[in-house]
Amino acid sequence: MWKAFIAAGLLLCGCKGDRDRAKVVLPQVEPDAVVVSWSVISRSDDRDSMNVILEGSRELIVTRRSAKGTMISVSHRVSEEDYADLVRRLRSLECCTLESTTRDRLRPSEAKPLLEIDFGDLECEIELWDDEWLEGRAKDCGFAFARLHKSGFVPEPPVDAPPP
């Protein structure tokens, strides 16, 4: 009898996880569609550029170009759980409502990273200056994707950045 009770308890616990997962509205896009993209194009000879894309198939592709021009690209499939968690985070942070302060470039090597989101029902491009990505909700949006791809966020500060 105890075995049946424990088995029923485990079954109920397993169902709860599925219910929580069902609350996340996953992107309704084609498998090869880019769901989330993060691009940092260096404007300087001493900084790397990076492009990270997550496709509807959960394929994550990271491409880095060194300041000297060497390119490296790696890819892997992310788990369903990590995919759903990223979508949940980006939706709950309302990343598509972020706006740039539209100020001019403060430093010659400052980049303007771009976060693109296409969830089927929600689509946007957010382009902010390096420093803007390091503040408030923008930082939370950028780091939500950076935690998944683990390839960095805003590249290291440029050599002409003011001291902290």
- How many helices (H) and strands (E) the chain has is answered by 3, 6
Out of 9-18, 21-30, 99-108, 117-126, the most confident range is: 117-126
CA dist., res. 44 & res. 13, Å (int): 53
Q: What is the pLDDT of residues 62-79, one digit of tens each?
A: 998 887 888 899 999 999
Checking if the pLDDT of 103 tops 50, the result is yes
Instruction: Please list, in sequence order, all residues whose beta carbon lies within 8 angstroms of the beta carbon of residue 101, skipping any fewer than 6 positions away.
Output: 129, 132
Average pLDDT over residues 71-100: 92
Listed residue (97, 90, 100, 113) closest to 43, CA to CA = 113
Rounded Cα–Cα distance for residues 42 and 75 (Å): 22
* Averaged pLDDT, 105-115: 79
Q: Which of 54, 26, 48, 42 is CA-nearest to residue 146?
A: 54
Bridge-partner residues for 39, per DSSP?
A: 51, 114
Tokens of 159: 């050599």
Most confident of the ranges 52-61, 93-102, 109-118: 52-61
Global pTM value = 0.75
How far apart CA 62 and CA 55 sit, in angstroms, is 12
Q: Looking at residues 156-161, what average pLDDT do you find?
A: 47
Q: Which of 40, 39, 77, 37 is nearest to 53 (CA)?
A: 37
Residue 86 has pLDDT above 90, yes or no: yes
Whether the predicted pLDDT of 16 surpasses 80? no
